[in-house]
Amino acid sequence: MLRSRIAWLIPVALTIVGLGSNVRSAIAQTTNNFDVTYKTLFSLQPRTDLGEGIFRATITGESKDALYGLTNFESNTYGKLVEATDTTQKFQFNADPAAFGLKDQTILGDVYFNTGNNPNKVFGTANDMATINFANNTVMGGGTITLTGGTGIFDKASGKITFTQQDKLDPTAPPGTPVVGEATLKFFVQTPKKVPEPTATTTLVGIGVIGTGLLLRRHRNKNTFG
């Protein structure tokens, strides 16, 4: 009788092991895609100490209607003048100083945050371009921010942000004055799900456990009344 019961319990044990293995492998991602338009200030400062044509760029942004509390951002990059004409200057920007051959310099980055108590933040590194047009007093730019992490609901975030930006130069402003503009950012953010969703395999295994339980009951009843 003991041997018979052990033989019937083996399929149940194997089924439960299969169930546990399936849950552990069901690691999914939560994807949040959304757009935010920010009012921006763009500052570009020459850094001749780092090399000819090298700059430091900072962009700050604010949006009262930003989703998930990401009402503010600050973006810091190194910049390099890559093309110039009588009326335009074209710049390349990157958070990584190695992109411009700079050594012993800190990698910079972006942070998207809330000035209040909202814990949600997103971090990233930017790679973008901008063209200053002195004929029509504009700055047009755009690029990509590669996400490197976050906090709050964006813990361990990955993905990217793409953006376009348009600023208006004030020809009467003193040199070094931040330029006012507007940027539209498209967020593509992925974060790990804390509770994996059941898969079709999990459901089938659960049915297998129930079916095996019914067979065990029938077998026990047969031994009792037989």
Q: Which residue has the higher pLDDT, 198 or 74?
A: 74
Mean pLDDT of 8-17: 46
> Which of 28, 6, 15, 5 lies closest to 192, judged by CA?
28
The two tokens of residue 37 are: 């338009």
- Phi-psi region at 137: left, alpha or beta (left = phi > 0; alpha = psi -120 to 50): left
What number is the average pLDDT over the span 58-69? 97
What kind of fold does domain 32-192 have according to CATH?
AOC barrel-like (2.40.350)
The candidate with the shortest Cα–Cα distance to 215, out of 3, 1, 5, 2, is: 5
Q: How confident is the model at residue 17 (pLDDT cuts 50, 70, 90)?
A: very low
Q: What DSSP element (H or E) covers 223?
A: helix 200-225
**Single pTM value for the model:** 0.75
Please compute the mean of the pLDDT values over residues 107-128 and round it to a whole number.
97
Cα distance between residue 211 and residue 62, in whole Å: 59
**Residue 198: is its pLDDT beyond 70?**
no
Instruction: Evaluate if residue 190 carries a pLDDT over 90.
Output: yes
The region, left, alpha or beta by phi > 0 then psi within -120 to 50, assigned to residue 214 is alpha
Distances in Å between the Cα of 173 and the Cα atoms of 143, 168, 169 are 27, 11, 8
Please state which of the ranges 102-106, 120-124, 170-174 shows the lowest mean pLDDT.
170-174
CB 79 within 8 A of CB 93: yes
Is the pLDDT at 102 greater than 70? The verdict is: yes
pLDDT at 3 over 60: no
